[in-house]
Amino acid sequence: MINYNTVKAVIFDLDGVLVDTAIYHFQAWHRLAEGLGYSFSIVDNEQLKGVSRIESLELILKWAGLEKSDHEKADLLAHKNQWYLALIEQLNPDHLLSGSLDLLKKLQDKGIKIALGSASKNAMGILEKTEIISYFDALIDGNVVQLSKPNPEVFLKGAETLGIEPAYCLVLEDAQAGIDAANAAGMQVIGVGQEAHLKGAGMVVPELGVLVDKF
Ligand code: B16
Ligand code: MG
């Protein structure tokens, strides 16, 4: 159950919640894994959602039973990001997920603070390409956090930047790691996607549009 009456701030995850970029992360990781001789599945990918670039690589190497030097890892990460950036080069407002813009507008109209809480180091470019950056009162991304979700750092930094207590924050997340991070932060959390992948969420919705009338 979610108590909307107490919500003073909404903290949005980016990839897979606001913007349809999760598929491009999958495609880039898939390409990298194939190059390593590992058959990377959509089920594997679910475990990488919300997880930082380096921790995602460490998981793939573990699943593939491979060990790489720091130099080799840096090389693999650079390639993965190049492929990802090429895939999102044409990103534009059409790639916003259903209901994203309507919800951002509604929250802004209602005076509810809006923050980004993303693990991505590419977040700013994505917000600019999709033309939604101006809606945010606080921007916390993979460049300013030390600890990857499920650690709550990214969301706690968002709340602190806004000056709002965690209990008054609502997180919107598409990844299990993000749901766990929001719960660890002491925030309410709504999962966006399929219930089976979002255990511990206060509720799960198929898309953000269904939340517009809640505020
Ligand atoms: P990057 P989010 C996360 O973004 C993605 O879900 C995850 O797949 C990705 O590995 C991570 O960002 C790092 O992204 O390589 O662009 O720095 O879902 O937390 O917005
Ligand atoms: Mg996500």
Domains and CATH numbers, the chain: 4-20+95-214 (3.40.50.1000), 22-88 (1.10.150.240)
Query: Which strands sit side by side in the sheet containing 203-205, from one edge to the other?
Result: 138-140, 113-117, 9-12, 169-173, 188-192, 203-205
139 is written with which tokens? 């921007």
Query: Quick check: 120 and 149 in contact, CB under 8 A?
Result: no
Residue 149 CA: which ligand 1 atom is closest? 19
Q: Which positions of the chain have pLDDT values less than 50?
A: none
- Per-residue pLDDT reduced to its tens digit, 170-187: 999 999 999 999 999 999
Distance 5 CA to ligand 1 centre (A): 30
Whole-model pTM: value is: 0.95
pLDDT tens, residue by residue, 74-107: 999 999 999 999 999 999 999 999 999 999 999 9
Q: Residues 6 or more apart from 90 whose CB is under 8 A from it?
A: none
Q: Tell me the CA–centroid distance for residue 8 and ligand 1, in Å.
A: 26
What's the 52 CA to ligand 1 centre distance in angstroms?
A: 6
Establish whether 13 is a catalytic residue: yes
Pocket test for ligand 1, best of 120, 132, 189 (most atoms within 8 A of CB): 120
Using CB distances shorter than 6 Å, the residues near ligand 1 are 13-16, 25, 48-53, 56, 81, 118-122, 142, 175
The whole-number pLDDT of residue 8 equals 98
| Ligand at shortest distance from the CA of 142 | 1
* Ligand of minimum distance to the alpha carbon of 80: 1
User: What pLDDT does residue 192 have?
Assistant: 97
